[in-house]
Amino acid sequence: MNAYVIIVSIVCVTIVGIVSIFAMLAYLKEKAILKYKNNFKDSNSEISITVDDDKNDHSKN
């Protein structure tokens, strides 16, 4: 009976530990996403992409 209680307590502590690790990872991921969104919203920089219509003479298109 005593060994059974010890095994059950070890299993419960292990499960709680694993769940808490995943909960912390999810919390930190959500915090990082919100931080990224806030930084992107506050920034005034723009990204421009230019495309040249000139074809390269060495390309085989």
6-55 pLDDT, tens digit per residue, is: 999 999 999 999 999 999 998 888 877 777 666 665 555 556 666 666 55
Amino acid identity of 37? K
Query: What is the pLDDT confidence band of residue 61, given thresholds at 50, 70 and 90?
Result: very low
**Residue 2 structure tokens:** 């005593």
- pTM, two decimals, is 0.51
Q: Please enumerate in sequence order all residues whose Cβ is within 8 A of that of 45, keeping only pairs 6 or more positions apart, or say none.
A: none
